[in-house]
Structure 1
Amino acid sequence: MRLGFYNLQGGTGKTTIAGNIAYYLSDKAKTIYVDCDIYAGSGAILFGLENAQHTLNSYLSGNSGLNDSINHYRDLAVIVSDSTPNAFNTDIDQKRLLELIETLNENYDIVILDLPPNITEGNLLFSSLNLEEKVVSKMIVVAEDSIPGIANTLKTIELLYALDIDVVGVIVNKYRDITNFEEVLEDVMAVLPYDEKVELQWVEAVPIIEKKSKFSRELSYLAEDLAEVYIQKDLAALRALKLAKELKEIGLKKVDEEE
């Protein structure tokens, strides 16, 4: 299952939410988090991997292999983007990017894609428009509790529908009772409060979901709901398909041997 987190607007908290949910789910299924923001990703800071030699950038440029590019934070597999100015030297190989996602999808139960804001070169949203299967199978939109934030969220949802990408729902983040988002947003799956403790995770390189706070509690509830309502169902279907494929391959091999 490939689950993306997105908004056209930057700074809504996509990385905080995507990274923390990925970490939570890694205790339940084989999970990998991929920071797809090639030029301005911050996932490396969240997981204390700023000095990682092998990144998504070095992989796309052909300087790193896949196995080298996968780091780990406890049980969670992590592919980070380059957090230094050297990121701007990345040569994006679109085919290599698509092959990466396909390989991860075959080897992990859950692939969490932390997508860059705006519409940038190499954005996975547009990488599969001519393919039979979407690169991102499900999308969660992360909104910010502000008037521009809600306006950009509506634009984001409209874009995703136009691209025929399944929107699971909207997370309203940094809630401070600023907007009446209930009047304009549908499918709000969680409202996460503004919490100054979230800033500490970037200093300590420890996901906020490990700490005791109202934010982490609400985020844990959301992650648990995702695991129960969406992920378990999809995992059962995917595992059944994989088993059927393996049985078919065994059957074909047996026929060849008999011939």
Structure 2
Amino acid sequence: MRLAFIGVKGGSGKTTLALHTSLYLSKKFRVLYVDKDVNSWGSLHLNFRGKGFLDYCKHGGDTSNFYEERGQLGIIKFFSGISDYDALREGIDRDKIQELIEIYRKYHVLVVDYGDTFVTNTEFSRSEFSGYNEAFRDSQKSLITVSDPLPSDIKENLNETRRYADETDQPVMAFVINLVPPLPDELELANRRKREVESECGCRVFVIPFIEDLFNYRRIPEIKEIEEILPFMRFVEERIK
């Protein structure tokens, strides 16, 4: 199964949710966290310092520069930083895609953290996704959109989710309204928006309040079952076949 975490803005909590979901699912499945965020925040929080898959494609070297196994959890880091943006216009050589596929085969679940949806529109990303589809024709694929609670951002995320879902023929598993101020009026407003999104998106919608412990974290050394995000992670787990 391939779960893609997408969203139009940085700072909405996509990486936080993708990481915690990866760690939570790795208790039961072999999970590969695929860090396709150009800033590589997820890899940084996991203390993985490899140069990334793009550097490996350009300069060769050892797979340890972009891939690491940690028991049930694997990590693939794609990029080194903002300087990699220009290279996203180019596709990936088929032999390098095949190397990725051989790693993917070791895992039951791929959690793909796109950082922002710009990355999904690049030739580099399209070639990886095309290679995945060729190798895993019957694979279950789903999108999870993460938005902050601003109405304009929710609307933009809905539009972008529809575009990407139609373009890639992937269903939307869930839409998360994240970082909601933990005040009664704000939570009530977010829950009204939740009902609106459910009617427009036709998927399960979660409202998650701002959680200081998650906002202030620097690294994730172990699984933390934080009460506010457990319903979301359990929902995802129940849909893995």
Given the two structures, how large is their TM-score scaled by the length of structure 1? Answer: 0.72
Query: What is the CA distance between 1:151 and its match in structure 2?
Result: 1.4
1:156 corresponds to 2:168:
no
SS in 2 for 1:161: helix
CA distance in 2 between counterparts of 1:2 and 1:100 reads: 17
| Aligned residue-pair number | 222
Q: 2:212 aligns with which of 183, 196, 213?
A: 196
- 1:95 corresponds in structure 2 to 93
CA distance in 1 between counterparts of 2:152 and 2:123 reads: 26
Q: Structure 2: give runs of 5+ residues left out of the alignment.
A: none
Percent identical residues: 20
| 1:106-145 correspondence runs (5 A) | 106-120=105-119, 121-122=122-123, 124=125, 128=129, 133=137, 137-145=141-149
CA distance in 1 between counterparts of 2:154 and 2:236 reads: 23
Give the direction of change, closer, same or farther, for the CA distance of 1:95–1:69 in structure 2 (3 Å limit): same
Contact map agreement 2:173 2:204 (CA 8 A) in 1: no
1:181 corresponds to 2:158:
no
Give the direction of change, closer, same or farther, for the CA distance of 1:135–1:143 in structure 2 (3 Å limit): farther
CA distance in 2 between counterparts of 1:135 and 1:61 reads: 29
Give the direction of change, closer, same or farther, for the CA distance of 1:175–1:64 in structure 2 (3 Å limit): farther
CA distance in 1 between counterparts of 2:57 and 2:139 reads: 16
CA distance in 1 between counterparts of 2:65 and 2:81 reads: 19
Q: 1:170 aligns with which of 163, 166, 175?
A: 175
CA distance in 1 between counterparts of 2:14 and 2:59 reads: 27
SS in 2 for 1:197: helix
Contact map agreement 2:2 2:109 (CA 8 A) in 1: yes
SS in 1 for 2:56: helix
Mark the structure with the bigger radius of gyration. Answer: 1
1:219 corresponds to 2:229:
yes
CA distance in 2 between counterparts of 1:89 and 1:151 reads: 29
Q: What's the Cα RMSD here? A: 3.1
Query: What is the CA distance between 1:207 and its match in structure 2?
Result: 6.1
Given the two structures, how large is their TM-score scaled by the length of structure 2? Answer: 0.76
SS in 1 for 2:117: coil
Q: Structure 1: give runs of 5+ residues left out of the alignment.
A: 235-259
Deviation digits for residues 186-235 of structure 1 (CA, Å, limit 9, x no counterpart): 12342211012213222xx1268527xxxx2122232222212x11xx2x
Contact map agreement 1:18 1:114 (CA 8 A) in 2: yes
Query: What is the CA distance between 1:42 and its match in structure 2?
Result: 0.8
Contact map agreement 1:172 1:191 (CA 8 A) in 2: yes
- 2:73 corresponds in structure 1 to 76
SS in 2 for 1:107: coil
Contact map agreement 1:9 1:152 (CA 8 A) in 2: no
1:20 corresponds to 2:17:
no
SS in 2 for 1:61: helix
